Amino acid sequence: MTEAPASVEVLGCRLDCVDIEEATTRILAYARGSRPAQVVTLGTEMVVAARRDPTFRATLAASALNVCDTVGVLWAARRRGARIAARVTGVELLERLCAAAAKEALPIYLLGGAPGVAIEAAQRLAERYPGLRVAGVADGYFPAERSARLAEEIARSGARMLFVGLGSPRQELWLAEYLAASGAGAGIGVGGAFDAVVGRVPRAPERWQRLNLEWLYRLLREPHRWRRQLALPHFVALVLIDEVRASLGGRRRP
């Protein structure tokens, strides 16, 4: 699968119009290939941050695949005419890819999370998907100066898929700089997916997920997250302002 997927722009960020099945197929192809490919799970806060940070914006533009991670991005993309049935979240992508990797004997590496989380996540994933080869794990508590050595360790492990859960924008910037040195074919930023796998951050019930209300479920369970949720109305306002400017013939802000 070499042809680029259809895409739309959301406030200057490219979003590829793929569902979970197509995303999985493409990432498996990257993992088998010889050229490193970065995958971004594009969220609302990331789009807002990219408007302020040219380096981060360039990183998102250069990635091989940007999938829709949050309800805000999904809403904005549909307003632009995108045909996207549902989000492609980091944890769902991790689970799908591990299931496929177990069947194809593609070794994986987990990088990120608090000490012990990646190890536990690897154990649980290996139990769920017999045959899964976990080439290695490392937590996200490492200094910047250790990054090059860590990439070398990943390369020696032989991992073909590298899942990075360092939070955004750190995980995207780290992959942009070190994915090639890691030797992995695919590098996927998955945010807090490892915490979800081990149950530290429980996912919303399926009904809430189907209604795209997982953000509300998290807020009700963790009220201290309310400041983070302010990014959504800010994002909505930016999208609507962008549309008004476009309708008046003005140029969209990159």
Cα-based distances in Å from 11 to 75, 90, 146 = 12, 21, 34
pLDDT of residue 233 exceeding 90, the answer is no
Residues 6+ apart with CB under 8 A from 194: 110, 112, 113, 117, 118, 121, 163, 165
pLDDT digit string (tens) for 240-252? 999 888 888 755 4
Question: 108 phi and psi, to 5 degrees?
Answer: -120, 165
Percentage above 90 pLDDT, the chain: 76
Contact 74, 41 (CB under 8 A): no
pLDDT of residue 202: 62
DSSP-assigned letters across all residues of 118-160: HHHHHHHHHHHSTT--EEEEE-S---GGGHHHHHHHHHHHT-S
The two tokens of residue 83 are 């045909």
Q: Does position 215 have pLDDT exceeding 90, yes or no?
A: no
Tokens encoding 57:
């914006």
Kindly report, residue by residue over 162-179, the tens digit of the pLDDT.
999 999 999 999 999 999
CB 132 within 8 A of CB 98: yes
What's the average model confidence in pLDDT over 233-245?
A: 88
What's the chain's average pLDDT? Answer: 90
| Of 167, 171, 141, nearest in space to 228 by CA | 167
* Residue 166 confidence (pLDDT): 98
**C-alpha closest to that of 86 among 77, 94, 95:** 77
pLDDT of residue 253: 47
pLDDT at 207 over 90: no
* Per-domain residue ranges of the chain: 14-198, 206-247
Angstrom distance (rounded) from CA 103 to CA 130:
9
User: How far is Cα 156 from Cα 13, in angstroms, rounded to an integer?
Assistant: 34
Distance (Å, whole) CA 230 – CA 238: 13
pLDDT tens-digit map of 60-116: 999 999 999 999 999 999 999 999 989 999 999 999 999 999 999 999 999 999 999
How many degrees, rounded to 5, is the angle at CA 38 between CA 33 and CA 42? 140
Question: What's residue 228's pLDDT?
Answer: 58
Instruction: Tell me the C-alpha distance between 56 and 118, whole Å.
Output: 25
95 near 119, Cβ under 8 Å? no
For residues 110 and 93, what is the distance between their CA atoms, to the nearest angstrom? 13
The tokens 């259809």 sit on which residue?
A: 6
The reported pLDDT for the residue numbered 254 is 46
Residues 6+ apart with CB under 8 A from 70: 42, 43, 44, 87, 215
34-47, pLDDT tens digit by residue?
Answer: 999 999 999 999 99
pLDDT for the residue numbered 252? 47
Tell me what pLDDT residue 204 has.
Answer: 57
pLDDT at 205 over 80: no
3-state helix, strand, coil in the chain (%, to 5): 55, 15, 30
The CATH number of domain 14-198 is 3.40.50.10700: yes
